[in-house]
Structures are given as structure tokens and as C-alpha cells.
A = this chain, B = another copy of it.
Amino acid sequence: MAEQIEFDQAHQALQEVSEALENGRFVHVRRQLQDMEPEDIAHLLEASPRKSREVLWQLADPEDYGEILDELNEDVKDDLVSKMDPEMLVEATEGMDTDDMAYVLRSLPDDLSQEVLSQMDSADRIRVETALAYPEDSAGSLMNTDVITIRGDVDVDVVLRYLRILGELPEATDAIYVIDSENKLIGYLSLTTLITTQPDVKVHEVMESSSDAIEVTMSDSDVASLFERRNWVSAPVIDENQQLVGRITIDDVVDVIREDVEHSMMSMAGMDDDEDTFAPVVKSARKRSIWLGANVLAALAAASVSNMFEDTLAQMASIAVLMTIVPSMGGVAGNQTVALVIRGLALGHIGDSNRRELLMKEALVGLLNGVLWAVIIGGIVMLWKGSWMLGGIISAAMLTNLFVAGVAGVTIPVLLKKMNIDPALAGGMALTTVTDVIGLSVFLGLATILM
């Protein structure tokens, strides 16, 4: 009950806070923010139009800045960080995990990030500089360096006493790592094993061996896929010499999973997945116009096809009236296949061994639906325009185009992937261009020949 109420409150907080902001009741808002968790403030900021967002940020407790920034969407975070001075940034990053500190520094201009680094204490600086040395989408950039390590030849009891002296364990610690004298990872001891083992047992007798370590250069999507399949809560990260360099926790992996899937969803509609819901108008318009520009080329390609059949169109206006139906159906059917293939590629389900089967299957699905809709639409057109010939022509064009849509829906994303072009971004538009051009060519071509 308590949590349900709290959860609904999070939804209501937005409404309340924005009302209080409009009425200028800043003291009230400040008090509300003090009662909220940093992650809920982050949610509130993301859901706030830009003007309220700036006021809210000023009213939040600067001590929470680090934790709030941790939880924010990239565009919103970049926006707020760009307005902070170096002293505030140093203060805000103090409470952060290494990977999040590195993330914030990466998004700053070089001179500013150098200034912030120089003001950090040396332990933090070394940790962040290490993280910054790894590529942005690698395991190295996801990991934290706050690992607890022990030797394998000690008793469980000694470990327990050591941990009691430490007093506090890093967040999401579910295991401590066993290393040899060269800092090489040889295994791990889960907290559950530690707790259920008799005190006089040696660590190496109950530890698990370290086959499950992540290479620091592995891509973050591969890391996410491993976590998802193995149901891990955390995993150790090793460098090329098998030395333990850090660990990755599930909370950061969840962000990667959400971002990867959101990337597919947003890219397929021609959007940047980092886009802030309340981004500045000019920035949004500029980002989106690139995609609209690509579509202009696609639309002009279709218009050029129609242009080739201008004589036919001039003779029969019903052809012009009907000519949008076949491309439209082909585009929708093809994009169904494209969505399936993009998901399959992202999940690693599609490879050399099964591509042919998938192509066969989608071509058949296209044929089947092609026959169905050829009959239905052919019938409608026959009744509407009173012409057997016109009905037959649109049927033939529909069947051809839905078959092409199935084949192109598999081929295009797979080829794009091979060419290292993001299939989620380019697949839909390339497909639509193909189905528009083929659909119009067949329909107008047949009409020109037969009528």
C-alpha cells in the first residue's frame, strides 16, 4: 500500500510541482524536492518543459546533483551540465560512481573537463582517467572500480571479520573477488555462499572459478546480452592480462538494454534516441530535418517513376486516383518484415546459417498476404471503377509488391548490417523507396501496356 501510494505520488508530483512553480511558490517547491529521492527528481526534470526544468534544478539541493545527474537521459544531462561551472561539477561528481563521472566528463568540452579533473582529489582522478581511457561503448566505460578482493588461502571467518572492519560494501555487491599475488582474477565468492559456509572453510574450497569474467574491451551491448542470459547481478571485469580491473552492476546494464531497444524503436521512426521530449524547438527541427531530407529523395524517386508514365496519367485520371494504394500496402507489409529482422539482428538470432530460411519464410508470407489483398482490393476497385481490367491490374501489382516487400524486408536490413550501416536507422526508408518504386512501376506500367 505504502509503495503504491508513493508510486502514484510520483505521477502526481509533476502536477503539484508545476502548479507551485506557476504560482511562484518556490519555497514550497524546494521543500517538496527535499522530500523526494534523487531518482524521482530526475524523472520530474525529464518530464518538465525546459523553463520549469531550469528553475527546478536551481531549487534542488546541490548535494543531490551527482545522484540526480546519474539517473538522467543523456540530452537532459548534457543540457544541465553545460550550465554548471567547474567547482559545482567537482562537487556534484564527488558522490558518483566512476563510470558516471567518466560519462559526465566525456560530455564536457576538453578544457572544462581538464579543469574539473585537476580539481578532483587524486584517487578519484586516477580512477576516472582509467575509465576515460576505454572506448565509450565498451565494458570499460560501464564498470566501477570499487571491488572488494581477497586471497584464496584465507578462512571464511577471516573474510567475514575483514568485511566487518570495512563496515560498508559498495552498492549491489553480491560477490567478492578472489585474486592471486599478481592481481589476476582466479574466482569469486558470492555473499550467499559466504554466509552459508562454515567459518573454518578456506575460500578456495568454496569459491566459483572465474570463467565468467568480462573482457574490458567487450561492447556494452554484448555485456548486456550476457547479463540478460545469465541472470547476473554483477560481474568482474578483467584486462588482457587477466588482471581484475573493476566490476559491472545490473543497474547500469538495465540502462544499456533500455537504450538498445529504444534506439531501434526511435531510429525506425527517424529519431535520435537521446532526444529530450522537451528539447529546444530549433535543435529538434534541425535533428529531424536530416531524416526528412532523406525522405525527400525517396519521395522524388517515386515521383520520377510516376513522371515516366505521365501520358498514361493524362489519359486516365482513375489511374492517378488509385496509384497510391499499392505503394502504401507494400510499405506497410515491408516494414513489418523490417521490424522483425531488426529485432532478430539485435538479439543475435539471425546469422549465415538461417538467413535463407528466413528469406523463404518472409517471401511466402508476402505471397500469401499478396494473394489475399490482391483479391480484396482487386474486387473493391472492380466494383468502384466498374472495370475488370483495372481490378486485374491493381491485383497483379499488389501481389508483386507484397512479394517484393517480403524479400526486400529481409535483404535490406541484412545487407545494411553487413555494410556496417545501422539497419534500424536506414532500413525502413530504403524499404519504402523500393516498395514505392516497384509498386508504382508495376501498376502504372501494366496500365500503360494494357489499357
A125 to B324, CA, bound (A): 58
Contact mask for chain A residues 38-53; partner B; CB cutoff 8 A; 1 contact, 0 none: 0110110011110000
Q: How far is the CB of A124 from chain B (nearest CB, A)?
A: 21
Q: Enumerate chain B residues within 8 angstroms of A281, measured Cβ to Cβ.
A: 361, 364-365, 368
Do A233 and B11 contact each other (CB < 8 Å), given the known contacts A196-B166, A299-B325, A348-B47? Answer: no
Q: Enumerate chain B residues within 8 angstroms of A150, measured Cβ to Cβ.
A: none
Within 8 A of B (CB), among A261-316: 261-262, 264-266, 268-271, 275, 277-279, 281-282, 284-285, 288-289, 291-292, 295-296, 298-300, 302-303, 306-307, 310-311, 313-314
Q: Enumerate chain B residues within 8 angstroms of A332, measured Cβ to Cβ.
A: 270, 291-292, 295
Q: How far is the CB of A94 from chain B (nearest CB, A)?
A: 19
Which residues of A are at the interface with B, using a C-beta cutoff of 8 A? 1-4, 6-7, 10-11, 14-15, 18-19, 37, 39-40, 42-43, 46-49, 71, 160, 163-164, 166-169, 171-174, 191-192, 194-198, 210-215, 217-218, 222, 226-231, 233, 238, 240, 242, 250-251, 254, 257-258, 261-262, 264-266, 268-271, 275, 277-279, 281-282, 284-285, 288-289, 291-292, 295-296, 298-300, 302-303, 306-307, 310-311, 313-314, 317-325, 327-329, 332-333, 335-336, 338-340, 343-344, 347-354, 357-358, 361, 364-365, 368-369, 372-373, 376-377, 380, 436
Q: How far is the CB of A231 from chain B (nearest CB, A)?
A: 4
Q: Enumerate chain B residues within 8 angstroms of A343, measured Cβ to Cβ.
A: 262, 265-266, 277
The majority secondary structure among interface residues of chain A is helix
Q: Could you list 8 examples of A-B contacts with CB < 8 Å?
A: A1-B238, A7-B226, A171-B231, A172-B174, A271-B336, A288-B336, A295-B329, A306-B320
A289 to B171, CA, bound (A): 49
Q: Does the CB pair B285–A365 fall under 8 Å? A: yes
Do A212 and B14 contact each other (CB < 8 Å), given the known contacts A195-B191, A258-B261? Answer: no
The quantity of this chain's copies bound in the complex is 2
Q: Which of B174, B306, B318, B329 contacts A174 (CB 8 A)?
A: B174
Q: Which of B284, B291, B335 contacts A365 (CB 8 A)?
A: B284
Q: Enumerate chain B residues within 8 angstroms of A251, measured Cβ to Cβ.
A: 231
Q: Does the CB pair A328–B302 fall under 8 Å? A: yes
Q: Does the CB pair A11–B351 fall under 8 Å? A: yes
Q: Which of B14, B230, B302, B353 contacts A351 (CB 8 A)?
A: B14
Do A324 and B296 contact each other (CB < 8 Å), given the known contacts A211-B6, A230-B37? Answer: no
Q: Does the CB pair B344–A277 fall under 8 Å? A: yes
Q: Does the CB pair A288–B333 fall under 8 Å? A: yes
Of all A-B residue pairs in the complex, the 10 with the closest CB atoms, nearest first, are A269-B339, A320-B320, A265-B265, A314-B317, A261-B261, A49-B357, A231-B251, A285-B368, A47-B349, A313-B317
Q: Enumerate chain B residues within 8 angstroms of A353, measured Cβ to Cβ.
A: 14-15, 18-19
Do A233 and B195 contact each other (CB < 8 Å), given the known contacts A285-B368, A321-B310, A333-B292? Answer: no
Q: How far is the CB of A361 from chain B (nearest CB, A)?
A: 6
Q: Which of B212, B328, B352, B436 contacts A299 (CB 8 A)?
A: B328
| Residue of A194, A195, A210 ringed by the most chain B CB atoms within 10 A | A195
Q: Enumerate chain B residues within 8 angstroms of A169, measured Cβ to Cβ.
A: 192, 195-196
Q: Enumerate chain B residues within 8 angstroms of A300, measured Cβ to Cβ.
A: 325, 380
Q: Enumerate chain B residues within 8 angstroms of A347, measured Cβ to Cβ.
A: 46
CB-CB nearest in chain B for A334: B269
CB-CB nearest in chain B for A230: B39
A20 to B25, CA, bound (A): 72
Q: Enumerate chain B residues within 8 angstroms of A19, measured Cβ to Cβ.
A: 353
Q: How far is the CB of A98 from chain B (nearest CB, A)?
A: 16
Q: Does the CB pair B215–A3 fall under 8 Å? A: yes
CB-CB nearest in chain B for A40: B229
Do A226 and B11 contact each other (CB < 8 Å), given the known contacts A265-B265, A296-B377, A329-B296? Answer: no
A261 to B273, CA, bound (A): 12
CB-CB nearest in chain B for A43: B229
